[in-house]
Amino acid sequence: MSQTKWWKSAVVYQIYPLSFCDSNGDGIGDLQGIISKLDYLATLGVDVLWLSPVYQSPMDDNGYDISNYYQIDPVFGTMSDFQQLLYEVHQRKMKLIIDLVVNHTSDEHIWFQEARQSKSNPKRDYYIWRDQPSDIGSVFSGSAWEFDSLTNQYYFHLFSKKQPDLNWDNANLRNEIYTMINFWLDLGIDGFRLDVIDLIGKDIDRKWLCDGPYLLERLNEMHQSCFQGRDVLTVGECPCLSIDRVKEVTSGDDPLLSMVFQFGHMSLDEIPGKGKWDCKPLDLIALKQYFNTMQTQLHNQGWNSLFWSNHDQVRAVSRFGSEEWRYQSQTMLSTLLFGLEGTPYIYQGEELGMTGIKLPQVAQYKDIETLNMANEKRALGWSEEQILQSIYKKGRDNSRTPMQWDDSYQAGFTTGVPWLLVNPNYTTLNAHQDRQSMQSIYRYTQQLIQIRKQYFSLIQGSFNLLYEHDPELFLYERECNSQGLLIIANFGPNVKEILLPVYSKQQRLIQNDQSFAFSQNGVLPPYFAAIYLYTR
Ligand code: GLC
Ligand code: CA
């Protein structure tokens, strides 16, 4: 039964609205801008669009700080623009999911404005207040506690101090959230990406934050109150669930969440125990082990999402591939991802192999996490150069620079001054140019999406990792009912000789370098990738 869920064979495309397309020249992407690009997305072949938040927000964390869940922020447009977008998406046989941010609100949300007023305010308990702070730190540097002199108590904020955490112990709050979720579902959207949802089960007094003691009971209640009986896609951002927990949450015919985002592969280039800013080179064997575990453990027992990048992570090609071998390495990464079990996500610009950015000054960055980190590291004695190097490797603005549509003014993103600088490489790296080129990443992605829809082994097949201990090759087989697919990737710039498996028949479905011909003694060009259909 669960095999037939539409979202298992879907491909999702993430739009970061601030940076996608600006229709009115104010330098900020908006809903009409998105509408103007829907044909580009439909032609790519994606099934679902995920919009990062477009609700009313003071934009301290680019919309992940919501001040009104029922309003569209005026920089993006109006509720009628949203309804038009939804209609136009559905017209093109695509679906639309939106971000749901309910671990916290903005401090400018009316609930918090009221809660601050007095300890006896009816909304006080919607947030988390204590007389004394504990030593829990904020994800965005510093303490997670902020003193509010109005009532002489501290409120809790795991992210910026303008993002107070909601108190999920409060039943009234929970009901208001469910009413809001149902409002959007009744409007006809097709689901949600649930921001840091595993945090709603936390117990801060026990310092138990991720995957907390109340998570399952709250997801259950939310499911019963909102999602049950509706055929929607829900993807929970869950940075630290155990595999068993992922199974509990995503398995069965009517799972609590359709799928989760797991981040194990995103921390492999971090020095353990040091956090995201202290980096080391990626170890491909560790990456393969991670995927091997997830793939084999979740097969028939849960469902995962597949991604290399998003608005919080740097660009895939700059991080895992090579900007010098942009076409080869981006297509290699996409091939690997699309071969796996799970639902693939494309982050805007990934279908062009967009790269990260290196701005010369810290002050040119906009992301609150980046700026807070810079202050913190300065206080620890880091030089500006050291700070910049970390930002180049891990800063979130790397993936937030405006979409590069063509080689005209500001890459065709805006006629005004963009809110964040356009990557100067737009003159040669842009959607228009890519599609003119013999080596088009967009067209390659289009083909991958078609292959994904044609071969059920990609959705349901078993996973068999080959060459487990090779530090440069990533090969695996997917198999279901004698339909076999071999996914081949050379994860580096070296030509690799390889003994390929022997099948009775094999047929090429896609490959990123036409010079390669399948034979037992194969020679793989740099960043080579291919998918072959085989019969044993
Ligand atoms: C999630 C979002 C990120 C945001 C954070 C706080 O991780 O993806 O962009 O800053 O939650 O809402
Ligand atoms: Ca605009």
Q: Which DSSP helix (H) or strand (E) runs through 298?
A: helix 284-298
For 89-134, the DSSP string reads HHHTT-EEEEEE--SB--TTSHHHHHHHH-TT-TTGGGB-EESS--
Tokens 């981006």: give the residue: 330
d(CA 96, ligand 2 centre) in Å: 20
| Closest ligand 1 atom to Cα of 369 | 10
Residue 508, CA distances (Å) to 33, 451, 454, 474, 514 in order: 38, 11, 14, 17, 10
Low-confidence ranges of the chain (pLDDT < 50): 1-2
| SS3 label, residue 373 | helix
pLDDT value of position 265:
96
Q: What is the DSSP letter of 208?
A: B
> What's phi and psi for 145, nearest 5 deg?
-115, 135
Give the neighbor-by-neighbor strand order of the sheet with 129-130: 129-130, 153-156, 145-148
Best mutation site among 141, 163, 312 for ligand 1, i.e. most ligand atoms within 8 A of its Cβ?
312
Rg, C-alpha atoms of the chain:
23
Q: Is 25 left (phi over 0), alpha (psi -120 to 50) or beta?
A: left
- Cβ(221)–Cβ(174) under 8 Å? yes
Q: Which residues place a Cβ less than 5 A from the ion ligand 2?
A: 22, 24, 26, 28, 30
Task: Give the model's pLDDT for residue 276.
Answer: 87
pLDDT value at position 2? Answer: 45
Q: What is the rounded CA–CA span in Å between residue 431 and residue 237? A: 29
333 to 8, 65, 184, 466, 510: CA distances (angstroms): 20, 32, 35, 17, 13
Comparing CA positions, the residue from 444, 205, 214 lying closest to residue 328 is: 444
Per the residue annotation, which of 30, 81, 195, 369 is the catalytic one? 195
Does residue 237 have an active-site annotation?
yes
- Specify whether 468 is catalytic: no
Return d(Cα 368, Cα 371) in angstroms, integer.
5
Instruction: Please pick, among 65, 198, 237, 312, the residue that the annotation labels catalytic.
Output: 237
Decide if 106 contacts 126 (C-beta within 8 A): no
Residues enclosing ligand 1, CB less than 6 A? Answer: 61, 64, 101, 159, 195-196, 237, 311-312
Q: Which residue has the tokens 């003694």?
A: 521
Report the nearest atom of ligand 1 relative to the CA of 396.
9
> C-alpha dihedral over 258, 466, 352, 399, to 10 degrees?
60
